[in-house]
Amino acid sequence: MTDKLQTVINQITECLDSADLGLTIGQIQTMTRLSNKTVKTALKHMDVEFDGAGYLLKKTAEVDIITSSQSQLIQAKKRNKPFTPNPLMGYQVEKGKIKIFLDRRASSKTLTLTTEHLSELVNAVNKARVTQ
């Protein structure tokens, strides 16, 4: 590889690094002020991929080491989880009020009841009405 080709490849690499979505040959020509033939020749020698819209640099696998202090700073936002009745605890009726013990699962904002759990809930409501 000649020095001139290496400098052209470096110019194109800098342009492709700055563009997240990739660049067309025309955009590379505009940014580097190189001819169409020069850009095409350099792209043949480079490790790039064409995604149908433009050229992208192939990503190399990089290992990022995150220290414990950085990992504490990077916390994923906790999402709400759906609730299902706890099969061991079930429900409790006290002073006309019903407490349903739930397990949290997955990620949703709904209360999931099977037909068995729904019938238990109806029984709990009926017991609460009787005690009033």
Regarding whether 48 and 10 lie in a shared domain, the answer is yes
pLDDT at 63: 46
Q: Is residue 66 part of a domain?
A: no
Give residue-wise pLDDT tens across range 48-63.
888 888 888 887 544 4
Number of structural domains in the chain: 2
Amino acid at 19: A
The range of the structural domain enclosing residue 44 comes to: 3-57
- 109 inside domain: yes
What CATH number did the domain enclosing 8 receive?
1.10.10
Q: Is residue 113 part of a domain?
A: yes
The verdict on residue 77 lying in a domain is: no
pTM: 0.44
- Which one of 30-34, 118-122, 127-131 scores highest in mean pLDDT? 30-34
Provide the residue type at 21 as one letter: L
Whose structure tokens read 């949703």? 108
Tell me if 62 is assigned to some domain.
no
- 50 with 88, same domain: the answer is no
